[in-house]
Amino acid sequence: MAASGLAVAGLTHGRGTSVPERITTASLARFHTALVARLRSDHLSWNWVVCLRSGKAFRGVPVVRCNVDFGIDPHVEAYCSVFADGRLETNFQDRAIPCGHDNAGYRATVVQYGG
């Protein structure tokens, strides 16, 4: 029951209810805006947010990973997300959203000198 491969009707809502939900993806800018709004509403202190396609999927829908720098030496936390019924749903609300380590967006070459 997919619409253009970007939306899927689920059987259970990510919060444990039995309400069907529509899972979708969106532009990186929309994920960025939604996550920044969430961080602000939660009164969290952060330095920057960078969103990128993770290459993973949740219920057949591409997952977006937003890295958030909380500024503690630095402390970067990954928020992997989709939209559920139009609301931002992260791996912190639904642990089934895949968010393991990946190198997406990593392009720096590390050179070690000495031995």
Predicted TM-score (pTM) of the model is 0.72
18: its two tokens: 């039995």
pLDDT of residue 37: 97
Q: For residues 61 and 83, what is the distance between their CA atoms, to the nearest angstrom?
A: 10
How far is the C-alpha of 47 from the C-alpha of 1, rounded, in Å?
40
Q: What is the pLDDT of residues 64-95, one digit of tens each?
A: 999 999 987 768 899 999 999 999 999 999 99
Q: How many CB atoms lie within 10 A of CB 29?
A: 9
The mean per-residue pLDDT over the stretch 33-49 comes to 95
Domain ranges of the chain: 2-90
Tokens of 17: 């209810």
Specify whether the CB–CB gap between 36 and 52 falls below 8 A: no
